[in-house]
Amino acid sequence: MTSTESSNLPRKSETHFYSDGDVELVAEKITFRVHRNILELSSQFFKEMFMSAKPSAEDLVVISSTGKTIPRIDLRDDSAQDFEKLLSFLYPNTFYEIGWDNVSSLLRLADKYIVESLTSACVAFLKRSYQEEPLQALKLAEFYHISSVYKESSKLVLDNFEQLFYEPKNLQGLSRTTQKKLKLQRQQYVEGLNKLYCVTVDRRFPPLTAEHLRSNFEECVKDICTFPFQPPSYAWMKLHQVDCSKHFECREELRRLKPFINEKISTFFGGEYEPLACSRNPSSASTPENFYPFIELRDD
């Protein structure tokens, strides 16, 4: 056998080549000898394939040590590295940690081979880690229809709109529909700031109270409405920090301050505002938690 012929032969996987395996899978000239029952239990794709397909003589290979004949399947569309990731997740003797460097390829494999356990593990990773890479999480959530991750990651993308949205490469992999939703939500927020700039504390508060409120409120509005505009979460936090309770602890009218501010936010900014799910910085009595606008994964 020449060196050229030898190099064209499939090589054994260093991780997933089991002597008692009863099926071989070949990806990029790497052979994985694995167990049919593990594939069937884990993957609806392989379960249906093994039930319906009968290998031809060309698809069979003889194990030299035992003389046993087992089927060999050529995986033409998958890299050996990616398929090894899938097997490492499925097999109990190996451990494969999901991270940002592999979650995209793992979701693709889970979707292609209908591996529900891997899909669930990837979704769980995105739910707890979306704050690290919100734009990447948003893209994956849209493509694989993960509505909860789509909603939460959109909050942080909107909150960092200026930094993320005006770099063309950042938009690759994001549909025009989602781009449009983000732009509209951002536009509504900016228009709301312009309206808020013209607001003064109204006469529902007593004159002396209103004077303190007006001063604090106008200072806050100047802060968040000065270009470049502050993020929506910062605007929410600052508006809800407008407080004169130190001066008027017993005045009933001060209880109307929060509804007054919420009314202005809802009227001018539109939509809903929520805190982040699984926030790493939960609010305390002295520090109100930031609230964010969001978009949702819908067809409209």
d(C-alpha 75, C-alpha 46), whole Å: 12
> Tokens 């995105």 label which residue?
126
d(C-alpha 178, C-alpha 183), whole Å: 9
Domain 3-118 has CATH 3.30.420.10: no
Of 201 and 286, the structure prediction assigns the larger pLDDT to 201
pLDDT at 136: 97
Task: In the chain, list all ranges with CATH 3.30.710.10.
Answer: 3-118
Query: For helices 176-196 and 257-269, what crossing angle results, to 10°?
Result: 130
The whole-number average pLDDT for the span 113-120 is 96
Question: Which residues lie closer than 8 Å to 18 by C-beta, 6 or more apart?
Answer: 33, 34, 35
The whole-number average pLDDT for the span 72-97 is 91
Of 36 and 60, the structure prediction assigns the larger pLDDT to 36
- Tallying the residues shown for the chain, one arrives at 300
∠ at Cα 181 (180, 182), nearest 5°?
Answer: 90
- Kindly tell me if the per-residue pLDDT of 296 is higher than 80: yes
Most confident residue range from 12-16, 59-63, 213-217: 12-16
- Share above pLDDT 90 across residues of the chain, in percent, rounded to a whole number: 47
What number of CA atoms fall less than 13 Å from residue 57's CA on the CB side? Answer: 0
**Beta strands at 23-27 and 30-34: parallel, antiparallel or unpaired:** antiparallel
**Residue 2 banded pLDDT, cuts 50, 70, 90:** very low
pTM above 0.75, yes or no: yes
**Residue 69 banded pLDDT, cuts 50, 70, 90:** confident
Low-confidence winner among 83-97, 119-133, 189-203 (lowest mean pLDDT): 189-203
- Kindly tell me if the per-residue pLDDT of 111 is higher than 90: yes
pLDDT at 201: 55
Dmax (CA) of the chain = 98
The whole-number average pLDDT for the span 96-111 is 95
Q: Can you tell me whether residue 289 is helix, strand or coil?
A: coil
> Tokens 């502050």 label which residue?
230
pLDDT at 80: 94
The whole-number average pLDDT for the span 125-132 is 96
- Kindly tell me if the per-residue pLDDT of 158 is higher than 70: yes
d(C-alpha 271, C-alpha 297), whole Å: 15
pLDDT at 1: 45
Mean pLDDT of the chain, nearest integer: 82
